Amino acid sequence: MIEVEAKIHINGPEEFREKASKLGKYIGKEDKLDDYYTLENIKEFPQKSLRVRKRNNIYEVNFKNKINYIKGVHAKNEEEFQVTDISPFLNLIHEFGFKRWLRKEKTSEIYEIKKDFHIEINNVKNLGWFLEVEYLADKRHIGQARSSVLKIIKELGIDKKDIIEEGYTKMLWGENKLGI
């Protein structure tokens, strides 16, 4: 799937909870603990890494490859699979030379607009509050998904100029708040 998303730093969740609930159905809150691993020298920000996310005693391994960034909206190819017993997987990637370089802790309040299209109000440890609008689409529908994301951003009362390009990992790296 292709992840099409925009992210905005917000002062707090209050004003967006009501707006998000008018656009989508509240489906719950999730705590996400993400560890990032790379083969690269971790004295510099890695160009490629994989994420291991712990969520509800299931581990999701994820790799994203940037397709483009247009009009404030990212499109990334996303490969993901689940692992129930993480220890053998971590042993394997360590044997191949992967090193953990960053930990991210995030609590997400999720509002589903429709299947594979949602709003998240996120509190990221050491970074603060963010709002994300994310659409999972197939490659043929990236343009349509991007337009849908921008439409929701507008309906939330957010100006396109407030969309930020930088990802959480880059922000944590820049703040030197790696959590490891």
Taking the domains of the chain in order of start, what are their residue ranges? 2-175
What pLDDT was estimated at residue 178?
A: 63
The DSSP call for residue 42 is T
What pLDDT was estimated at residue 175?
A: 77
In 3D space, the residue among 17, 18, 148 whose CA is nearest the CA of residue 73 turns out to be: 148
The DSSP call for residue 47 is S
Q: Is 132 helix (H, G, I), strand (E, B) or coil?
A: strand
In 3D space, the residue among 137, 119, 106, 122 whose CA is nearest the CA of residue 36 turns out to be: 106
The C-alpha atoms of residue 112 and residue 129 are separated, in whole angstroms, by 19
Q: What are phi and psi of 17, to 5 degrees?
A: -60, -45
What pLDDT was estimated at residue 180?
A: 60
Model pTM above 0.85:
yes
Tell me which residues of the chain have a pLDDT lower than 70: 177-180
- Per-residue burial over 43-60, b = 16 or more CB atoms within 10 Å of its CB, e = otherwise: eeebeebbbbbeeeeebe
What pLDDT was estimated at residue 84?
A: 87
Give me the CATH code for the 2-175 domain, please. Answer: 2.40.320.10
Q: Is 107 helix (H, G, I), strand (E, B) or coil?
A: strand
Amino acid at 122: N
Rounded mean pLDDT of the chain?
Answer: 94
